[in-house]
Amino acid sequence: MSRGKKRKRIAGLLLAAAVAVVSLGGCGANGEKETDAGSAGTESEVSSGGMGRYLETELSLPEGVETIYALAKLADGQAAMFAYGGGWGLYRSEDGGESWAKQEADDAKLASVFEGYMTGASISPDGTAAGILVDYEGETPVAAVGILNPDGTAERKELILPETGDETDAYTGLMQKCAFDTAGNLLVQNLNGDLFSVDLETGNCTFLAGDSSIQYFGVAGEQILAVTSDGILLFDSTDGSSLSEDAVLSDMIQADSSLADVLSDFGTVLAFARETEENAVFYVNHDGLFCHTQGGSVSEQLINGALNTMGDSTVSFLNLVMLDSEHFLLSIIDASGQNRLLKYSYDAQASAVPETELRVYALEDSSYLRQAVSAYQKNHQDVYVNLEIGMSGGDGVTAEDAIQALNTDILAGDGPDVLILDGMPADSYIEKGVLADISSLVQEIADSDGVFENVRKAYEKDGAIYQFPAKFYVTLVNGTAEAVAAGASVEKLASYINEGQASLTPQNDETLLKTFFLADSAQWTDEEGKLNENIIRNWLEQLKVIYDAGNWDDTQQYYSYSGGAVTDLLGTLSPVSVLTGEGEVSYGSLVDMTELLTLAAADKQNGMTYGLADSDGAKSFVPYMLAGISSSTKQTEAAEDFLRTLFGKECGSVDGNGFPVNRAAYDALCEDAQSRYGDDEGIGISVSTDDGISLELNLENLTEAETAEFTAILEQADAPACMDRVVWEIVLEQGKAVLSGDVTAEQAASEIMQKGSLYLAE
Amino acid sequence: MRNKGLWFVLPHFLGVLIFALLPFLDVVRRSFCKAAGGFCGLENYIAVWKNEAFRLAAGNTLRFTLVCLPALLLLSLALSLLLYGIGRGGTLFKNVFLMPMAIPAACVALIWRLLFDAGGIINGVLAAFSCPAVDWMHTDSAFWVLVCSYLWKNTGYVIVLWLAAMAGIPQSVYEAARLDGAGRAACFRYITLPCLAPAAYTIAVLSFLNSFKVFREAYLVAGNYPQRSIYLLQHVFNNWFLDLSVDKMAAGAVMLALFVCAAVWALGRAISSGPRI
């Protein structure tokens, strides 16, 4: 071979090697994980480096203010807020919301002008506040507008709607939203999706535009942005003429139709700022705050929702105001129903993306977790919480797939910093040293706020705590005193029911199995961790008796539960069914204080009582939001801070998802339950059954004795229920076969033992 | 150039080295370490050997291999001899036998369910003849269902391998033997079988390795915890990974690799000591 040919070959080989090395290197460099930041049609700034970011601060509301009805920027540059707090008032701020001064007005006059049910309010650029008031007393709702003028005078005008030909249409007068445009025109929208312009002098309404699919609207400059479930319709606010559709805005709605929903608190998950800048519209949703130049192909993300309260899926938005290009005000309603005012200010010195990243992993998404992330983010703006959800839903990923992927990351040294262990093999992770000891953190919370000691003891292992729940709930039995006594164990309950003394309130097979599984399964294994076949067989036999006695309609879905992870919260206790006579005994879980109010009210009304389903000595509880810190994390401090938030009073005192392990949060919930209805005698609600039986139930404040009684029950529960996903799936499969009569309890127990023993032997 | 062929082998060897041999060395290292880190000697091997689930799975896997491998080799050899005798007309049959290979494992699992469910087609047929229904998937019958599935899926492929090997035997050898008065049986005994020996080794090793793939069907039909008789080694490894029991997985994998190497070596020895032409 000639020297030239040899040289060419060597050069060729080197080139091939270089290409291989470059391509392998290229694969690794871009191996970034997918996070939940950003969405279709948006241009995120999160990935870019550099400096400059909007930082969030929470502003104090003026003293006494409880509800923010409207927020705006006035023509003179001041911020204005129309709010209620024992009385109506317009508040002005010259320092961007930091301090507020109430406008002088006659409080008694305001009370009479704004009397009624206010469905919406707005402030015009000149400082006129208007509120839409709906009177439900008549056959058809009548709407009026209350006006508070800049000089402090107030007046009320009944809205005079144009003739529609159908005067009995209740929705025509049911106004649900109003807004001033920049020219000072007041626009209102009724439930039919009709938009009107209101003459404040006369109350005359002029029809502008309408579409039955319009859910709500926003105003940007002199444009109406009417949100429908399919997109956003644009109209000119001065004459109602239709404007050409903006594809980016409509695509946003089509990608997430929940953006079009009006929530029960009148908030929305999409809000527009009235202020515009060079044909650009500003809007906020849970992804963040965006600027969209109309006709442009993308929206620019100015603020990443994942870094602050905007990303909290439990909050709804009320008003967005752009004070100037570096300052925004946002009023929201949080999960506890409180109105809050947030300010976003641009800080050129802050890094565009927080330099510290805290990775939090959970198998399933939850509003509680989102709320905790948001609460943490608010106080730690130098940390970016990257929330990774294993089963995001819709992509067919099973729990097993997700855990395998997580384990691969952990083994590769690329695991998350904080693990939410619901549905995960937590015991195995503890055994393998994946989780760090968080006992000092738990002790710190116990010292400051207090914790349910029975729960803490249940998670102590040789003096260490590797996992700890933020919330927990228990299984209760509700009925007569005899029924409650019988409900102490599945065997006694089955015997009680079999003797014809009572029947259980309707449940489907899966709910029944799960409810009793969570109450009883803590007793199924011996000290060596082996399953006890006799106990399981007996349990299945008793459940079969209870199920057969119920004679329920299998085709009916009595509760929303339909399979899924063992950690699903149920709320299956149904005191209302006992009250309406659908069954004499109810057995199930109670997951928040609101349900306890219902239980107490129902029991008072029909002389029933309740107790812990203690399974003959086994007093189990169901943990929720079990969390731990990875032993290999480099962000120990940030991870501990996150758990302080997760287990803290602020997150725990939001009612729902079980009862907080944090004692201060629990006490706050008890106090709320004791004073929820003020000094009133409570509220009456109507309950009805499928059979048409209708009853009135009077919800009242709980007494101290009632909360103490329930607290004592929570304090008794000392063993976590078996939360093992594999065991649950095996029991569910066999249990359903037993209830349907396909196999005997003996055969099913044998099958459970065989599969379960294999699992435990592994 | 004398070692020209090495250049062709080298890229593949590098691939095997980087993606199989070096990672396996890490597996060997991990097999002597605790899951949480730290050397533990033979502790993992002892734990795995004492593990009831592993022993059951290893026994089932061995039993499955011992039943399936001879059955597959003999059945496919017999069928390929028949097809070889038919000549060109055997192409259609060959294609029919190959069809199961083209069916994805997920479809095979679906067919299983249709056939072997308590209310499935086979029990329907049995009922038509007044025979009692069989719980195929929840009794030891599940093992034989798995065996049949393996044979059904792999026979066509092995037939093709046998036929290729048969095509390589020179016809002149048979003609010379017939001139010497050898009958069909003698030709098969003294010419065909010895000539197929090198191919038999390759076919046996491939079939042996393919027998591990039957896990896919078993897993898709019965999940992580199937009936005891079809609980295979891959079930254990899969479940251990879910549990992050890397220590046990590594020790089990090393033991399995040693067993496979020993079995392949023994197979090679057995075949090389067989009849020669």
Residue ranges of domains in chain B, CATH in brackets: 52-272 (1.10.3720.10)
Element (H, E) at A284: strand A280-285
CB contact under 8 A, A400 and B52: no
Of A428, A730, A758, the CB nearest to B243: A428
Of B51, B53, B244, the CB nearest to A410: B244
CB contact under 8 A, A425 and B243: yes
For residue A217, give Cα distances in angstroms to A177, A301, A333. Answer: 7, 21, 18
Query: How far from chain centre, in Å, is Cα B57?
Result: 16
Is A353's Cβ below 8 Å from some Cβ in B?
no
Residue of B nearest to A734 (CA): B138
Report whether pLDDT(A393) > 80.
Answer: no
Of B36, B240, B246, the CB nearest to A762: B240
pLDDT of residue A220: 93
All residues of chain A having their beta carbon less than 8 Å from the beta carbon of residue B118 are 742
The DSSP string of B161-182 is: HHHHHHHTS-HHHHHHHHHTT-
Burial of residue A450 (CB within 10 Å: 0-12, 13-18, 19+) is: middle
CB contact under 8 A, A407 and B241: yes
All residues of chain B having their beta carbon less than 8 Å from the beta carbon of residue A751 are 138
Residue of A nearest to B139 (CA): A751
Please give the average per-residue pLDDT across A378-401, as a whole number: 85
Q: What is the CA radius of gyration of chain B?
A: 23
**CB-based contact A752:A531 (threshold 8 Å):** yes
CB contact under 8 A, B243 and A404: no
Residue of A nearest to B34 (CA): A432
Tokens 């002088």, residue located: A104
B interface toward A at CB cutoff 8 Å? 35-37, 51-54, 56, 118, 138, 224-225, 228, 231, 236, 239-246
For A247-304, how does the pLDDT look when each residue is reduced to its tens digit (9 = 90+)? 999 999 888 888 988 876 678 989 999 998 888 999 999 999 999 998 888 899 999 9
Q: Tell me the three state secondary structure of residue A684.
A: strand
For B216-261, how does the pLDDT look when each residue is reduced to its tens digit (9 = 90+)? 888 888 888 888 899 999 999 999 998 889 999 999 999 999 999 9
For A723-748, how does the pLDDT look when each residue is reduced to its tens digit (9 = 90+)? 788 888 888 889 999 998 888 999 99
- Among A21, A758, A759, A760, which would you mutate to test the B interface (most chain B Cβ atoms within 10 Å of its Cβ)? A758
Residue of B nearest to A742 (CA): B118
**CB-based contact A315:A330 (threshold 8 Å):** no
Residue of B nearest to A730 (CA): B225
All residues of chain B having their beta carbon less than 8 Å from the beta carbon of residue A742 are 118
Of B35, B118, B239, the CB nearest to A762: B239
- A120 vs A129: CA distance, rounded Å: 11
- A452 vs B246: CA distance, rounded Å: 36
**CB-based contact A385:A642 (threshold 8 Å):** yes
Tokens 């059945």, residue located: B75
Q: Where are the alpha helices (DSSP H) in B31-183?
A: 43-50, 52-86, 91-102, 105-116, 121-128, 141-167, 171-179
Residue of B nearest to A400 (CA): B242
CB contact under 8 A, B224 and A429: no
CB contact under 8 A, A407 and B52: no
Please give the average per-residue pLDDT across A223-241, as a whole number: 91
Q: Tell me the three state secondary structure of residue A620.
A: strand
Of B35, B51, B224, the CB nearest to A761: B51
- B143 vs A185: CA distance, rounded Å: 79
- Among B219, B234, B243, B246, which would you mutate to test the A interface (most chain A Cβ atoms within 10 Å of its Cβ)? B243
Of A407, A434, A761, the CB nearest to B52: A761
Q: Where are the domains of chain A?
A: 3-353
Tell me the pLDDT band of A689, cut-offs 50, 70 and 90: low
CB contact under 8 A, A432 and B35: yes
Tokens 């003179």, residue located: A76
Please give the average per-residue pLDDT across A486-500, as a whole number: 82
Tell me the pLDDT band of A694, cut-offs 50, 70 and 90: confident
Please give the average per-residue pLDDT across A49-74, as a whole number: 90
- A567 vs A729: CA distance, rounded Å: 12
Residues 6+ apart with CB under 8 A from A696: A684, A685, A686, A687
Is A755's Cβ below 8 Å from some Cβ in B?
yes
CB contact under 8 A, B53 and A761: yes
Report whether pLDDT(A560) > 60.
Answer: no
Among the residue ranges A139-143, B34-38, B196-200, the one predicted with the least confidence is A139-143
All residues of chain B having their beta carbon less than 8 Å from the beta carbon of residue A431 are 35
CB contact under 8 A, B236 and A762: yes
pLDDT of residue A10: 58
pTM of the entire predicted model: 0.79
Q: Tell me the three state secondary structure of residue B237.
A: helix
pLDDT of residue A27: 36
- B226 vs B220: CA distance, rounded Å: 10
- Among B40, B49, B224, which would you mutate to test the A interface (most chain A Cβ atoms within 10 Å of its Cβ)? B224
Nearest to B63, CA basis, from B257, B217, B233, B206? B233
Percent pLDDT > 70 in chain A is 87
Residues 6+ apart with CB under 8 A from B12: none
Query: Measured between CA atoms, how close is B246 to chain A, in angstroms?
Result: 9
Nearest to A507, CA basis, from A595, A572, A570? A572
- Cross-strand bridge partners of residue A85: none
**CB-based contact A381:A354 (threshold 8 Å):** yes
For B2-11, how does the pLDDT look when each residue is reduced to its tens digit (9 = 90+)? 678 888 899 9
For A304-314, how does the pLDDT look when each residue is reduced to its tens digit (9 = 90+)? 988 888 988 88
Q: Indicate if the alpha-carbon torsion angle B110, B111, B117, B119 is positive or negative.
A: positive
Q: What is the mean pLDDT of chain A?
A: 84
**CB-based contact A647:A443 (threshold 8 Å):** no
Q: Tell me the three state secondary structure of residue B70.
A: helix
Pairing of strands A418-420, A620-629: antiparallel
Report whether pLDDT(A170) > 70.
Answer: no
Other CB atoms within 10 Å distance of the CB of residue B210: 17
For B52-98, how does the pLDDT look when each residue is reduced to its tens digit (9 = 90+)? 999 999 999 999 999 999 999 999 999 999 888 887 777 778 788 88
Residue of B nearest to A406 (CA): B242
Chain A 719-738, residues with CB within 8 Å of chain B CB atoms: 726, 730
CB contact under 8 A, B225 and A425: no
Query: Measured between CA atoms, how close is B52 to chain A, in angstroms?
Result: 6
Is A483's Cβ below 8 Å from some Cβ in B?
no
Query: Measured between CA atoms, how close is A463 to chain B, in angstroms?
Result: 19
Nearest to A651, CA basis, from A440, A374, A286? A374
CB contact under 8 A, B244 and A404: no
Q: Phi/psi zone of residue A374: left (φ > 0), alpha (ψ -120 to 50 degrees), beta?
A: alpha
Of B36, B138, B236, the CB nearest to A432: B36
Query: Measured between CA atoms, how close is B31 to chain A, in angstroms?
Result: 14
pLDDT of residue A36: 44
Report whether pLDDT(A568) > 70.
Answer: no
CB contact under 8 A, B236 and A403: no
pLDDT of residue A756: 83
ipTM of the complex: 0.80
For residue A548, give Cα distances in angstroms to A486, A490, A543, A559. Answer: 18, 14, 8, 19
CB contact under 8 A, B246 and A410: no
Tell me the pLDDT band of A641, cut-offs 50, 70 and 90: very high
DSSP 8-class letter at A114: T
**Mean pLDDT comparison of A369-373, A515-519, A757-761, highest-scoring range:** A369-373
CATH number for the domain running over A3-353: 2.120.10.30
